[in-house]
């Protein structure tokens, strides 16, 4: 067990951020290359504190914690599971995403197939450019868990430990089926001239897979209401509102690129030499519990923490309290 380098109370510095130019051409794992690509990053936390990369689902971006009203605010912030009083947190905009790293233009051509290994390579460029290697840890959930594992495999010197939530060494075909339908809905929207409409529906479907029947039953068991011309169910009001909110912040082309990237992930877990704390959620419908167990059993230095959560795959976004001891164990635990 190694304590953070400087456990004293820190003065919280201003966030810093920037853009790192990637090697050009930047070869891609599945073939092809990006030219003049950049990756945008952001660091929040007290100067001198150990640096933890935090990466999440395909819609994640460089604004991670509560101070930024980021995508992982329930987990990352002062006094939270990833405590920004004790750690600096690095966030990045994914390649292929809809923020400031290289990605598809809205309405522009689709990118070549991306891989979590491409994200890992780009992140390695960022971390080395910042002179921050090795990172104290990489904490990744969902797609970010794949990225964390890709870092551990491809850049074993870049991070001393990995925290991998709801991501395994392979993909379940049922999860791929849902995502394949989602991507095809978006392509259908692009083809018929309403890409935003397609993305809305894809996100509505994705919400069904991120959550659990138990949560939906508790929240949306009410009666249908008669609208102008037809009935509407409580669940569809919710799903399509989430779809509308998503369209306002995310590009259809990014969704296709990063959703596909998830489905192309396959690794040999036995080759991951960095210590891994894996977190499995029993109710996760995208990354089944038995996959997580088998994955951890193949890791040379892996341990498994289990969560029960009504939020299923979205537990990593919701279960800040339950994740607190797991983060503590990982961040103060075995390191390479």
> Site residues (CB under 8 A) for a copy of itself?
30, 110, 113, 172-174, 176-178, 180-181, 184-185, 188-189, 191-194, 197-198, 201, 204-205, 207-208, 212-213, 216-217, 219-221, 223-224, 229-231, 233-236, 239-240, 260, 263-264, 266, 288
Catalytically annotated residue among 83, 118, 313, 314: 313
Of 251, 322, 310, the C-alpha closest to 284 is 310
Q: Tell me whether residue 4 or residue 197 sits nearer to a copy of itself (CB atom).
A: 197
For a copy of itself, which is the closer residue by CB, 118 or 260?
260
Considering 59, 98, 101, 142, which one is annotated as catalytic? 142
Which residues make Cβ contacts (< 8 Å) with residue 226, sequence separation at least 6?
232
Task: Give me the residues paired with residue 280 across strands.
Answer: 306
* Range list of β-strands (E), the chain: 16-21, 26-27, 33-34, 38-44, 51-55, 76-77, 82-83, 88-92, 137-141, 162-165, 225-226, 231-232, 276-281, 302-307
Min separation Cβ 100 and a copy of itself, Å: 25
Residue with tokens 């009666």: 223
Smallest distance from the beta carbon of 235 to a copy of itself, in angstroms? Answer: 4
CA atoms within 13 A on the CB side of 242: 15
Residue 155 bears catalytic tag: no
CB of 194 vs a copy of itself, minimal distance in Å? 6
- Residue 136 falls in the annotated catalytic set: no
CA distance readout (Å), 321 to 65, 78, 79, 308, 315: 15, 13, 11, 12, 11
CB of 58 to a copy of itself, least distance (A): 16
**Between 262 and 276, whose beta carbon lies closer to a copy of itself?**
262
- Taking the least distance from each CB to a copy of itself, the nearer of 184 and 329 is 184
Q: Is 313 a catalytic residue?
A: yes
**CA R_g for the chain:** 19
DSSP state of 100: S
Q: How far is the CB of 88 from a copy of itself (least distance, A)?
A: 37
Q: In terms of CB distance, is 19 or 180 closer to a copy of itself?
A: 180
Contact 75, 316 (CB under 8 A): yes
Catalytic residue among 155, 284, 291, 309: 284
Q: Are strands 231-232 and 26-27 parallel, antiparallel or unpaired?
A: unpaired
- Give the residue numbers marked as catalytic: 142, 284, 313
């Amino acid at each position: 067990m190694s304590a953070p380098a400087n456990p004293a109370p820190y003065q919280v510095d201003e966030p810093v951020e920037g853009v790192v130019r990637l090697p050009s051409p930047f070869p891609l794992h599945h073939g092809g290359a990006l030219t003049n690509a950049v990756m945008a990053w952001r660091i929040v936390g007290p100067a001198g504190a150990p640096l933890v990369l935090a990466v999440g689902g395909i819609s994640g971006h460089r604004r991670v914690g509560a101070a930024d009203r980021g995508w992982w605010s329930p987990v990352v912030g002062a006094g939270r599971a990833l405590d920004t009083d004790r750690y600096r947190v690095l966030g990045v905009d994914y390649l292929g995403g809809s923020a400031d790293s290289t990605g598809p233009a809205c309405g522009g051509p689709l990118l070549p197939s991306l891989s979590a290994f491409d994200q890992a390579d780009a992140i390695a460029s960022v971390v080395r450019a910042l002179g921050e290697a090795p990172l104290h840890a990489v904490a990744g959930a969902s797609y970010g868990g794949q990225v964390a594992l890709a870092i551990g495999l491809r850049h074993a010197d870049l991070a001393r430990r990995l925290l991998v939530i709801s991501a395994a060494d392979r993909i379940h075909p049922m999860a791929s089926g849902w995502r394949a339908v989602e991507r095809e809905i978006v392509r259908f929207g692009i083809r018929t001239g309403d890409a935003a409409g397609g993305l809305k529906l894809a996100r509505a479907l994705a919400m069904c897979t991120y959550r659990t029947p138990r949560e939906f039953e508790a929240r949306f068991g009410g009666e249908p209401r008669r609208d102008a011309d037809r009935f509407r169910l409580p669940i569809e009001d919710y799903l399509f509102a989430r779809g509308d909110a998503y369209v306002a912040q995310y590009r259809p082309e990014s969704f296709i690129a990063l959703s596909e990237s998830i489905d192309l992930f396959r690794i040999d877990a036995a080759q991951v030499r960095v210590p891994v704390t894996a977190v499995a959620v029993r109710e996760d419908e995208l990354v089944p519990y038995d996959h997580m167990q088998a994955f951890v059993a193949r890791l040379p230095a892996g341990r498994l923490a289990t969560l029960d959560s009504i939020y299923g795959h979205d537990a990593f976004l919701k279960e800040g309290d339950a994740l607190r001891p797991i983060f503590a164990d990982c961040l103060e635990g075995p390191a390479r």
